[in-house]
Structure 1
Amino acid sequence: MFNPNRLPPRSHRARTSLPVLLLSTVSHAALADGGDGGQPPHADRIEEIVVSTNIEGRTLHQTVIGTTVLREEEIARQMDGTLGETLRRQPGISSTFFGPGASRPVIRGLGGDRIRVLDSGIGSVDASSTSPDHAVAVEPALAERIEILRGTSMLVYGSSATGGVINVMDGRIPDRVPENGFEAGVSVGHSTVNDGEDAAAALNVATGKLGGADLVLHLDGSWRDSEDYKIPGFAESKRLRDMEEAEEGDEHEGEEEAFGIIENSFSKSKSASAGLSLIGDKGFIGVNVKLQRSDYGIPAGHHHHEEEGEEGEDHEEEAHEEEGVAIDLDQTRVDLMGEYRFDDGWFEKAKVRFGYGDYEHAEIEGDETGTIFANKGYEARLDLIENLGGNWSGTSGVQVTSRDFSALGDEAFVPPTKSHQYGLFTLKNLEIDNWHIDFGGRLEHTTHKADELGVSLDFTGFSASAGLGYDFSETTFAGINIFRTERAPTTEELFSNGPHLATSAYELGDVTLGKETAQGIEASAGYRGERFSGTVNAYVTRYDNFIYEVATGEEIDELTVFAFKAADARFMGFEAQGDFHAASFDTSAFGTVDIHLTGQMDLVRAKLLDVTGNDRLPRIPPLSALVGFEADAGAFDFRTELEIAGAQKRTSEFEIPTDSYAMWNAYLSIHPFEDKDISLDLKAMNLTNSDARQHTSFLKDSVPLPGRNFRVGLRAKF
């Protein structure tokens, strides 16, 4: 949340080759010289960002795999309560939208265990990958930087990162001494669509010396409270209403349809953390303890039925009044982080990261607790930045994760399971003139043990990648990356067998599932000139034994059966984005005003191979685009944009197509004082009050995105 320099409002988007995606992704911004010696207007908006310290000096402009870096201004602009909704307007990103309380990012059509959500380089240690109704235990309101790494990142982060990585860096463990010994930030906001209130605050303060090193204390907290949110029309989509009317006929007439508001969509959360770091000339070490609590409703929830009567008599089913499902989430997390810089020898730097989480959430219907999910686990890793000499650089490391997961209650659908994973990896980079050569590999061993079932499974996988990039000039770059990865199935994919209260589904795993293997290629091209900059990424990935969850068309206890299956599959697609500096002009009131036109588009196509009948995969996002107009000056930043999602008619069996939508959004940030970092933020979302539904959401036909919303916020740094 702290940066002594004012950061540019635009997100900085580029590409990253696989060996660049190292553990911490703690980046340092080297802002371009703002002089006029051949620099483009507002050159300070174009950042040279080193994503990883193993290849310091390479910019994001010179890398291959798709990457987006969001800084504080852009995070504040896009802030929407959950991580998934905060990020879903970025290229190639969608979300699992399960109401305002739970929304996880989907990258290039991949979600669940294939997307790793990191808290400053370490896993979130929650249950969010288990089911879409489970919230991510990471608070975006306190983030000072979010990095989105598209494509496989598993060489560094493990097999759970085969689809991408979301790394949220919130500065809970200080790695530098604050300027003048103290820095603080605070933000408050109000939204109209849900009568929502939110606030966040954090501070770093130098408290003294210990053995010549500085002690820095960190404190932060956040709070959010919102009611059920408004929608422009019916909660159920027209397609679903038409289907129900056709199936039920006269019985459907007279039924009351939810309209204008999504019931049980409230969301409340609060968090607090305290950390202490010892910072010296050669590095730092610090620790932080964080407490997080969330209570949120699950829209379109499940309801029970009871049967009455004695043996031999007709059983008469009586439907009880439907009660909304709510989730009560608690997590205590302890993190340790340290870095040490060597004077000489084989290694330049050593990085250590450790995170322990004690997570629990209860699914509650009325006064009754249905299921309690618990996850105690840790992740530890050591990265050694190598001093190879010459044009070589590299990193080698070890990663260990442990997870003790349980789901207890009448509707627990996964047995208690203990999982352990050990990974060794090495990554190398060679620079020859304008050529960049990257290659690396990872060996990983995973075990899942379910004592209740008397089952213990082991998986060993090897993954590798190689990349080649070339600088055609200072403005133009192109590269290509090839990879082969292996992912072990998760406990949910293997052992699920039972009803899930919050999702109204009966989930079935398959204990015979094997490793999922992916082979792919990704190409990238980028240009950065004085007036225009743009990038294009294209990819094709072939999966052997691709594991997916799909509706079977069957019912058990009036719940739709969703089964995990495996088949060969192919994913292909692209992301393109551009920024055109249209004009600059001087005004007497605001000084120089810069006008930018921006645009982005992404598409993913996914299909099963060698199957008869329907070969479509479920919940694949449609073509999407975003076009924007920006006017930036010292006193204000203004942006308006049109967000477009195409119709998705390429659906799997028993999946309902989704209609297209367009939403018009506008943002205005006012900076009234030149010598103070204070911003008044005004945001208007979905101004046309469009009925918008995320095809990647299990609830898209019963829970649309929020309607027209106006938000006002105030941010200040000291």
Structure 2
Amino acid sequence: MLKQQLRLSGAISAICLAGLSTAFAQDTAQDQSQDEVAEDTIVVTASPIAKEQDDLLIGASVVTREEIQKRMSNTIGEMLKAEPGVSSSFFGPGSSRPIIRGQGGDRIQVLDNGIGSIDASSSSADHAVAVEPAQAEQAEIIRGTGLLRYGSSGSGGVVNVIDGRIPTSVPENGLEASMRAGASSVDEGRDVAFATDFEAAKFGDTSLVIHFDAALREAHDYDIPGFAESAAFRALEEEGHDHDEEDHDDDHDHEHEEEEEAFGTLENSGFETSAVSFGTSFINDRFTFGAAVKQTNSDYGIPAGHDHAHEEEDHDDDHDDEHDEDHEHEHEHEHGEEEGGVRINLEQLRYDLRGEYRLDSTPFETVRVALGISDYEHREIEPSGEVGTIFANQGWEGRLELVQRPQGGWRGASGVQVRQREFSAIGEEAFVPPTETSQVGIFTFQDYETGPWHFEGAARYERTEHEDDMGTSLSFDGFSISGGTGYELTENFKLGGTVFRTERAPTTEELFSNGPHLATDAFELGDTSLDKEISTGGELVLRGRYDRLNFTLNGFYTDYSDYIYQAETGGEEDGLPVFAYTAADATFSGFEAEADLLLGSAFGAEFVADGSVEYVRAQIDGGNGNLPRIPPFGALAGLNADWDRVSIRGEVDHAADQDEIAEFELETESYTLLNLYVTYRPFPENEKIALRVAANNLTDEEARQHTSFLKDEVPLPGRNFRVSFEAGF
């Protein structure tokens, strides 16, 4: 299968002969000051020790502000999925979380300026991340030894989104401001954002800097190239319909035919999101201390059938009439003919504190502290307009760390991290009982360089405790360790590698779930007997840097003991398919390759080709099959042309078919998307003023992401034209 997928990508990769990288082409296209910003931000995230991006022993991607503005997306998952090794959980335009190398949920931590998002997004794919892409200045994707700084919840990777709401520097000339407005055709969407930093006062050598930003996005149901349901799903439904047609009246047959006719528009996919934040910092040469408050609100639809009654054919004949009536009611809800589908109303009020103090004449050079406090709630609104379930998460997370003073090539940092969470789901379909979770972690990171050699090591001890409202208390002690070595083969080649062993405690949802979940159309079951999940593995990285060619090759392998995942059982409860959390030994393996090539100059423009390929294989050990929702082989190739005022990028994004599927999954067909991006800067000396035009999915191709629970009912948007204007000073 892999050979076939490689051949499928051959034509695409040939477009840029030497190019297999999106990220490096984008990074090299920025000026020197932007490169330095990208490196500084990666340093803060990957580890508390300053180092350049190329010195990291693992693959890391940086999505700059320029790239964020160009690819402006509605969710963090969609914003990052063009990066090598990254896909998304796509639950419609309102909710999409990053998936890294096939790992999602609690194994991927989404950080908001270095502290967890403190929402409910890791508990279910329909729950949005309370981080607003429109406010992001930069995003980073990190793996390797530095992950132990953030805990076992980031065992598969960490995504850090930086929005600058706590200022860390004094604005040049005392004031900076930016604004952006945009519109899209596929969903009649529109968005606007504004941000400013200014020096409000000065006390001796200490500046008081104020930050304010606001963003608003809204869109209607988006257009799709064909049927909402995939051909395979419609065939399966038709087969079930033919089997049951003797038990249903003509009216129900007519309704089912209408259901299959859903075409051209994805019902209930509209959304409206707003976010406002205010921050302030005291800044001088010795310390930085700041605080911020942010309010996020989002209202979005869950664009899927949620037809709870269509599989109740096993009920007694005495209930046939009631079944028909329920099915008709669900059909009306599904298509919005009377009341619309399920919607989620999300609110989060968040407070953050962050400080750094530089010490003198001690073994430590810096002490850092960070704290995030969140009051989060979202309501699942049933088609009738009534509130079905209320999810609430009140929690906080703090980290204190000391950075060692460099000595003889040796650097290091150690710290403690504490999390507290009170999570509840209240209502008719509350599938998780109210639960309190606390976690304390102690970590250390050490780094040593001598000549061409570079060594890293990290360790973390973590204790996690869960207690539900019935008094059931479970605790887990985890110890994780990782190490890496890098060697500079030549001036242009670097080879690096890491090995690790991590232990992750099961989450509240994995342990205690027991009930129907309307938004995911599933009856979810946890298992209180689940034990720690243990992963052992490694990664190799080869980097090459030349004047015209840059490339990175990553290969990885991870062996899991008691890997916890949500599997469809084939059973049914309350008319819903049962998805149970279970544990099995499993392996993940794969690779990413990326590069960019400076082709030269012609017609007054500089041309750069880039591309990437990625592949992950995830199997349950013992020949028991494949894990569900694993991304297929993917390839992306682009060609960039840059003039003084105009930049143009053409792009081909290909996903192979996925036929390595788990039980009860349907295969997903391949797709190839053509994208075009044009940026016009009327004043080349001011890069903060730009007019952007993007055309995505130019051929209006039907595309479905295998990583999505809803991939057979929710295709990606059709052809979309987006226009935006940004200005700043």
- Corresponding residue for residue 702 of structure 1: 713
Q: Tell me the CA shift for residue 622 of structure 1.
A: 0.2
Q: Distance in 2 between matches of 1:605 and 1:425?
A: 31
- CA, structure 1 residues 635+159, in 2 after alignment: closer, same or farther (shift >3 Å)? same
Which amino acid counterpart does residue 273 of structure 1 have in structure 2? S
1:11 and 1:69 in contact (8 A); partners too: no
1:327 and 1:362 in contact (8 A); partners too: yes
Q: Does 1:387 align with 2:387?
A: no
Q: Tell me the CA shift for residue 312 of structure 1.
A: 13
Helix, strand or coil for the counterpart of 2:60?
Answer: strand
Q: Distance in 2 between matches of 1:400 and 1:56?
A: 21
Q: Deviations over 1:274-327 (max 9, x none)?
A: 1111111112100001001000000114356699xxx99757312223240000
Q: Does 1:528 align with 2:550?
A: no
1:528 and 1:534 in contact (8 A); partners too: yes
Q: Distance in 1 between matches of 2:40 and 2:113?
A: 17
Q: Distance in 1 between matches of 2:305 and 2:553?
A: 41
Higher mean alpha-carbon deviation, 202-211 vs 353-362, is at 202-211
- Corresponding residue for residue 475 of structure 2: 458
Which amino acid counterpart does residue 643 of structure 1 have in structure 2? D
- CA, structure 1 residues 150+387, in 2 after alignment: closer, same or farther (shift >3 Å)? closer
- Corresponding residue for residue 3 of structure 1: none
Q: Tell me the CA shift for residue 633 of structure 1.
A: 2.3
Q: Distance in 2 between matches of 1:46 and 1:186?
A: 21
- CA, structure 1 residues 191+385, in 2 after alignment: closer, same or farther (shift >3 Å)? same
Q: Distance in 2 between matches of 1:312 and 1:664?
A: 52
Q: Distance in 2 between matches of 1:665 and 1:155?
A: 37
Q: Does 1:537 align with 2:541?
A: no
TM-score, normalisation: structure 1: 0.91
Q: Tell me the CA shift for residue 584 of structure 1.
A: 1.8
Helix, strand or coil for the counterpart of 1:619?
Answer: coil
Q: Does 1:573 align with 2:590?
A: yes
Which amino acid counterpart does residue 497 of structure 1 have in structure 2? N
- Corresponding residue for residue 504 of structure 1: 521
- Corresponding residue for residue 177 of structure 1: 170
2:22 and 2:83 in contact (8 A); partners too: no
- Corresponding residue for residue 693 of structure 2: 682
Alignment of 1:410-421 (within 5 A): 410-421=428-439
Pick aligned residue for 1:667 from 668, 677, 698:
677
- CA, structure 1 residues 419+585, in 2 after alignment: closer, same or farther (shift >3 Å)? same
- CA, structure 1 residues 415+552, in 2 after alignment: closer, same or farther (shift >3 Å)? same
Helix, strand or coil for the counterpart of 1:493?
Answer: helix
Q: Distance in 2 between matches of 1:314 and 1:262?
A: 32
Pick aligned residue for 1:615 from 612, 625, 631:
625
2:661 and 2:667 in contact (8 A); partners too: yes
Helix, strand or coil for the counterpart of 1:52?
Answer: helix
Helix, strand or coil for the counterpart of 1:243?
Answer: helix
Which amino acid counterpart does residue 227 of structure 2 have in structure 1? F
Q: Tell me the CA shift for residue 77 of structure 1.
A: 1.3
Helix, strand or coil for the counterpart of 1:171?
Answer: coil
> Higher helix proportion, which one?
2
- Corresponding residue for residue 266 of structure 1: 270
Unaligned runs of at least 5 residues, structure 2: 1-20, 246-252, 334-339
1:399 and 1:423 in contact (8 A); partners too: yes
Q: Deviations over 1:369-411 (max 9, x none)?
A: 1000000000000121101411100110110001000000010
Q: Distance in 2 between matches of 1:50 and 1:438?
A: 19
- Corresponding residue for residue 613 of structure 2: 601
Q: Does 1:195 align with 2:207?
A: no
- CA, structure 1 residues 194+462, in 2 after alignment: closer, same or farther (shift >3 Å)? same
Q: Distance in 1 between matches of 2:582 and 2:165?
A: 40
- CA, structure 1 residues 585+47, in 2 after alignment: closer, same or farther (shift >3 Å)? farther
1:152 and 1:164 in contact (8 A); partners too: no
Pick aligned residue for 1:712 from 696, 710, 723:
723
- CA, structure 1 residues 338+703, in 2 after alignment: closer, same or farther (shift >3 Å)? same
Pick aligned residue for 2:95 from 92, 95, 102:
102
Q: Tell me the CA shift for residue 44 of structure 1.
A: 7.2
Q: Does 1:515 align with 2:536?
A: no
Q: Distance in 1 between matches of 2:718 and 2:436?
A: 42
- Corresponding residue for residue 42 of structure 2: 51
Q: Tell me the CA shift for residue 211 of structure 1.
A: 5.3
Higher relative CO (Cα under 8 Å, sequence separation at least 6) belongs to: 2
Q: Distance in 1 between matches of 2:386 and 2:342?
A: 10
Higher mean alpha-carbon deviation, 72-81 vs 691-700, is at 72-81
- CA, structure 1 residues 189+670, in 2 after alignment: closer, same or farther (shift >3 Å)? same
Helix, strand or coil for the counterpart of 2:236?
Answer: helix
- CA, structure 1 residues 674+436, in 2 after alignment: closer, same or farther (shift >3 Å)? same
Helix, strand or coil for the counterpart of 1:672?
Answer: coil
Q: Distance in 1 between matches of 2:154 and 2:512?
A: 21
Which amino acid counterpart does residue 394 of structure 1 have in structure 2? G
1:32 and 1:47 in contact (8 A); partners too: no
1:202 and 1:219 in contact (8 A); partners too: yes
Higher mean alpha-carbon deviation, 269-278 vs 295-304, is at 295-304
Q: Distance in 2 between matches of 1:706 and 1:72?
A: 24
Q: Distance in 2 between matches of 1:175 and 1:615?
A: 50
- Corresponding residue for residue 557 of structure 1: 574
Q: Tell me the CA shift for residue 350 of structure 1.
A: 1.1
Q: Tell me the CA shift for residue 610 of structure 1.
A: 2.3
Which amino acid counterpart does residue 316 of structure 1 have in structure 2? D
- CA, structure 1 residues 220+662, in 2 after alignment: closer, same or farther (shift >3 Å)? same
1:78 and 1:87 in contact (8 A); partners too: no
Helix, strand or coil for the counterpart of 2:238?
Answer: helix
- CA, structure 1 residues 678+418, in 2 after alignment: closer, same or farther (shift >3 Å)? same
- CA, structure 1 residues 314+122, in 2 after alignment: closer, same or farther (shift >3 Å)? closer
Which amino acid counterpart does residue 500 of structure 1 have in structure 2? H
TM-score, normalisation: structure 2: 0.90
Q: Distance in 2 between matches of 1:357 and 1:656?
A: 39
Equivalenced residue count is 676
Q: Distance in 2 between matches of 1:282 and 1:45?
A: 22
- CA, structure 1 residues 472+312, in 2 after alignment: closer, same or farther (shift >3 Å)? closer
Unaligned runs of at least 5 residues, structure 1: 1-9, 15-26, 34-42, 588-592
Q: Tell me the CA shift for residue 78 of structure 1.
A: 1.6
Q: Does 1:641 align with 2:651?
A: yes
Pick aligned residue for 1:625 from 597, 622, 635:
635
Q: Deviations over 1:179-224 (max 9, x none)?
A: 1100001001000000000011100010112354110110000000
Which amino acid counterpart does residue 609 of structure 2 have in structure 1? L
Helix, strand or coil for the counterpart of 1:467?
Answer: strand
- CA, structure 1 residues 540+86, in 2 after alignment: closer, same or farther (shift >3 Å)? same
Helix, strand or coil for the counterpart of 1:51?
Answer: helix
Q: Percent identity?
A: 50
Pick aligned residue for 1:288 from 292, 296, 316:
292
1:178 and 1:204 in contact (8 A); partners too: yes
Helix, strand or coil for the counterpart of 1:316?
Answer: helix
- CA, structure 1 residues 387+119, in 2 after alignment: closer, same or farther (shift >3 Å)? same
Q: Distance in 2 between matches of 1:145 and 1:44?
A: 12
- Corresponding residue for residue 378 of structure 1: 396
Q: Distance in 2 between matches of 1:48 and 1:372?
A: 41
Q: Tell me the CA shift for residue 634 of structure 1.
A: 2.2
- Corresponding residue for residue 300 of structure 1: 304
2:146 and 2:458 in contact (8 A); partners too: no
Which amino acid counterpart does residue 502 of structure 1 have in structure 2? A
Pick aligned residue for 1:82 from 67, 71, 75:
75
Q: Does 1:430 align with 2:456?
A: no
1:206 and 1:216 in contact (8 A); partners too: yes
Q: Deviations over 1:426-472 (max 9, x none)?
A: 111110101000112000000000022x2100000000011000112
Q: Distance in 1 between matches of 2:431 and 2:179?
A: 42
Q: Tell me the CA shift for residue 636 of structure 1.
A: 1.5
> Higher strand proportion, which one?
1
- Corresponding residue for residue 250 of structure 2: none
Q: Does 1:325 align with 2:333?
A: no
Which amino acid counterpart does residue 487 of structure 2 have in structure 1? Y
2:22 and 2:596 in contact (8 A); partners too: no
Helix, strand or coil for the counterpart of 1:255?
Answer: helix
Which amino acid counterpart does residue 289 of structure 2 have in structure 1? I
2:145 and 2:484 in contact (8 A); partners too: no
- Corresponding residue for residue 279 of structure 2: 275
- Corresponding residue for residue 257 of structure 2: 255
Pick aligned residue for 1:61 from 38, 42, 54:
54
